[in-house]
Structure formats: C-alpha cells, structure tokens
Chains A and B, each alone.
Chain A
Amino acid sequence: MTTTEPATRPTATPAPARRRLRPGAVELFVGVLVVAVLLRGWLVGATNSARVQTWLTIFVSIVIQATPFVVLGTVVSAAIAALVPPSFFARALPRRPVLAVPVAGVAGVVLPGCECGSVPIAGALVRRGVTPAAALAFLLSAPAINPVVLVATFVAFPGRPQMVVARLVASLAASVVMGWLWLRLGRTEWLRVPDRPELAGLGKGAAFVAACRTDLVQAGGYLVIGGFTAATLNVAVPQKLLHAVGGQPVLSVLALGFLAVVLSICSEADAFVAASLTQFSLTARLAFLVVGPMVDAKLFAMQAGAFGRRFAVRFAPATFVVAVLAAVAVGAVLL
C-alpha cells in the first residue's frame, strides 16, 4: 500500500535531515524486544515473590481494564480534533464561561465510561477552543455521573437509592465548583496543552488517524505511569491502617478519600468496593465515590500528561478538597 503514493511525494526535502535522527526508534524497539525475550528466564526468577507478583498482576490489570476506555476516549477526542469544527462548540455552549461550566458539567452524563476516557476528550475540547473551565468541569463530571456508573451504584447499594442521588449531586457540584474556581483563580500559563502541528493541513481522514495515534500512545503511556503508581500504593499501603479509623467521623471521611486516591479503581467498579466498606459511615463512602473518579494516582499521571505537570499539581489537590467537602455537605443532607 505504501507504494501507491511515492510519485506524489515531494523529493525536494533532502534525506539527511532524517538521517540525523539517531539510528532509529524502530531498531531500538526491536532491540528492546530481543533483550527482554533473552532475559526472560532471569526476569521470571527475579519476580517470583508473592509481593512482586501481586504488584505485577495489579499493574497489568489496571492497564488492561482501562485500555478499552482509553481507546473509546481517544477515538472520540480524535473525532473532535479532526471532524468537529470549533464553531460547533461555540454554538453548543453558552458564550459566558460562568454558564458554560455547569452546562459542560451536566453534559458529562452522555459519556459512558470511566475516567481514563474523559482525559483525552477534555484535552481535545481545550484544543478546540472550549473554555478550559468548562472542559475541566466535563473532565471531572463525566466519569462520575454517566448512566453506567449510576446504575452500578444503584446495584451496589440495594435498598439505598439515596446513595445514587447523593453521588450524582455531590459529583456534579464538585465539578461545577472546580470549573468556577478555575475561572477565578486558574492561570493559563499553568495549562500546557500541546499543540498538534502535525495535524495542520492534513485531510480529514489523515488528521483523524494521526490524532487517534498520538492520543492513544500519549494517554496509554501516562496510563502506564498511573498503573505503576497505583499498583505500588496498593501493595505498599497496609489496609489495616485505614480500617483502624473507621469509627471516627472526620478521619474516616479523609481516610476513604485517600483510599480512593490510592486504589485508583475504575468509576464503574468503585461502588462495589464502597459497598463492602461497611464499617465506614455512608458519608465517608460517598466521599470515596466522589473523589475516586476525579482524583486518583492513575488519573493524576494522565492529567499531567494531557495538561502539564504544573497544572496537575495544583488541580488534583484542589479537586480532592472540593470533592471531600461536596461529599460531606451532600451526605449531611441526603444520607
């Protein structure tokens, strides 16, 4: 197939420009594979302790489980980047950012999936000229309030439908508050959304493929960092410690908030884990459900990848505080 086009390729560019780029990522790729296969026996021996094996299993599980959602997210974000004109979002969202934030937050309902998919989509929205505050509200609300997650929450808490309502209200409130906070306090220089010069001037099809590829390897690469961190915390932090504070109202809310950060569970599954934490109050478990889809070890890495580290180190802690407060406030009223 690659031979159908060479006649149209300009020959003016001198080849040496490419030659300078080191002897090839492709060769390096093959080299890594060969070395890894040759070292297999040694690797198997080096990783056969129970702790390391548990780490490996959790690490690859997080990556495998998230991959379908990352793929969905990148295909949607590539479609936004290549196929949807910026004018669409200008028309779809209210002109005033203060109003665009809640609209974008509520729009999160339409994306069925977990948090890994919404990161590349929010990146594509910002690149498409959507005001960052609105894109961030969408980023936070989509994984928490979509129907799949709400149904899972309903199933996990039999006889307690107020848990679903509380999750919806608290998550939406936290997302919108974070969007507004960004409007007031956010600085554009914190946000680094890499441009995609390679997409400019391509046809729609070519731009779509190129956007899919770059988003996929980018989100995937940061997902690996996140899975690495989450698996490490999962194996290193003793759960006994968290359970010790189950009876104390304030500490238990914070403890489950931190547990959500540490475990990095997909938002479609977290309700079942929360349901089993029976020695904690419902409000503490609500905090677990509100924090998890918005801030966790895996998500932090992916947000740093999509928006830059200076953004992530400010945004994630602020989101944690807002999410916990929203859970406590809603829990006090509804639970």
Chain B
Amino acid sequence: MRRELHALILTLVGGTLLKLAFTGDYARYVKPGVRPLLVAAAVVVLAIAAATLRRRDRRDHADGDGHAHRHSRFDVAWLLLLPMLVLLLLAPPALGSFSAARSGTALGAAPASDQPPLPEGDPVRLSMMDYASRAVYDNGRSLAGRHLTLSGFVLPGDGGTWYLTRMVITCCAADAQPIKVGLTGTVPGRLKANDWIQVTGSYATRKDRDPVNQEPIPYLSVESSTPIPAPARQYES
C-alpha cells in the first residue's frame, strides 16, 4: 500500500511539473532557465513511480506485517499533495505589488565599468533594470536626449506617486526583488495597483529614496502610456 501510494504521489508530482513546463506557467514561479531542469526532474520522478509500480518484488507481501507499525505514523509523503494541489487548482499568480511594496528597490552592485551607449531605436525599449541602473549609477548620462519605453506593473507610493515596477528573480519567486521607477509628467489617471502599463518618455533628474531600504528610485518623465496585458514572463531575470 505504502509503495502504491508513493507511486501515485510521485506520478502527481511528475505530471504537475510537466504541465507547468509545457504550459509556460512555471515562469510565474521560477526563472526561464529552470525549465529543462523541471522536465528532467519530472521524467526521473515519473520513471521512479513507474519502476515502483512495476517491481512487485517477492518480499513485498511477506513484509506487509512488519510495516504495520509504521503505518500508524504519519507519512510525510502526503505533504507533497499540498503544493501540487495548490498549483493545479489555485495556480497562484506571479508576484505583484504586494511583494514589491514590502521590499526595497534592488539595483544590485554598481557596475564596474561605464554604461555602454544605448542601442539604436526611437523610442528605445529598455528593461527596468537597465533604465534604473543607467539613471542611478550614471546619472542618466547615457539616457540623455532619448525616447525610452518601459513596461511593468504600477505600485502606489506615498503622496500619490506611482512607481512602475518589475520583479527581478534569480532562481525563484522566493528571491524576487523589485525594481522601481517613479512616474512623473503625463501620468495616466485612474490607475490601480498591479495594472500593467507601457510608458514612453525620457529621463527625469528627480530621485526618491525607497522607504523600505533607502535606496534611490529614479524617475521617468512620461509622455504617453498604454495599458497592456500582463506578459507571459512577468519577471526580469
């Protein structure tokens, strides 16, 4: 019984991992590079489950009695059902403004060398991380005179300011940290937390301090903005 139960639980685990990997939902929880690892792990887990069901070894029935006392103890294998059912039934969303408000903006260490020139394009599309580190460490020198496009979700700050925000993950959502860019200029009206927007504008000299960790938050002077649906890959990594 114990073996069959374990095989079933492992089948559920392997199947759930495969589903996440193939629907792309895994990107809500881990970085894109983890996908091949998930597929490989799922294959191994399913193989162990299959081998367990296949091998009706000779002693299995003989030692049923010897196992009896162990059955009275709770089998931790049951706990694996919990995250799998959460994933299959509730499919929690990617982290958003709730986490972003709790963590300080995370620019990381200052780059060792100067910022390279911006790529071609008008407007030029930048990642939030790229914009924020150019704006903070380079005082916007490499951004001067350019039209820039950023996208992210919005996070309400103190005193009616809105921060355009993107979570950055290294491995999984447990290490997610926000990058925040304040919006000034023609800020769209009627925003609510977690709305995804794309904004085009230019570098603004204003900077705030993040109330959580006192790190600088640069600003973007917005010229135009449009609401967008949340992208499939909501995290920068």
Contacts and interface: CB of A to CB of B under 8 A. Distances in A.
B171 A57 contact: no
B103 A54 contact: no
A33 B16 CA distance: 14
A36 B89 contact: yes
Interface in B14-64: 17, 20, 26, 28-30, 34, 37-38, 40-41, 44-45, 48-49, 51-59, 61-64
A243 B123 CA distance: 37
B53 A2 contact: yes
Contacts of B56: 2, 5-6, 9
Interface in A34-52: 36-37, 40, 43-44, 47, 50-51
Contacts of A60: 29, 83, 86-87, 92
A220 B80 contact: yes
B93 A53 contact: yes
Nearest to A30: B8
B9 interface: yes
A147 to B, nearest CB: 17
Interface string A257-293: 0000001111011101101101100000000000000
A252 B44 CA distance: 42
B213 A243 contact: yes
Interface string A186-220: 00000000000110011001100110111011101
A234 B55 CA distance: 42
Interface of A: 1-2, 5-6, 8-10, 13, 17-18, 20-22, 24-26, 29, 32-33, 36-37, 40, 43-44, 47, 50-51, 53-54, 56-65, 67-68, 71-72, 75, 156-160, 197-198, 201-202, 205-206, 209-210, 212-214, 216-218, 220-222, 224-225, 227-228, 230-231, 234, 238-240, 243, 246, 263-266, 268-270, 272-273, 275-276, 278-279, 305
21 contacts: A9-B61, A18-B61, A44-B90, A53-B92, A64-B83, A197-B66, A209-B48, A209-B55, A213-B3, A216-B45, A227-B83, A228-B82, A239-B212, A240-B213, A269-B172, A273-B170, A273-B177, A276-B106, A278-B215, A279-B215, A305-B76
Interface of B: 1-10, 13, 17, 20, 26, 28-30, 34, 37-38, 40-41, 44-45, 48-49, 51-59, 61-68, 71, 75-83, 85-87, 89-90, 92-99, 102-104, 106-109, 111-112, 170-175, 177, 211-215
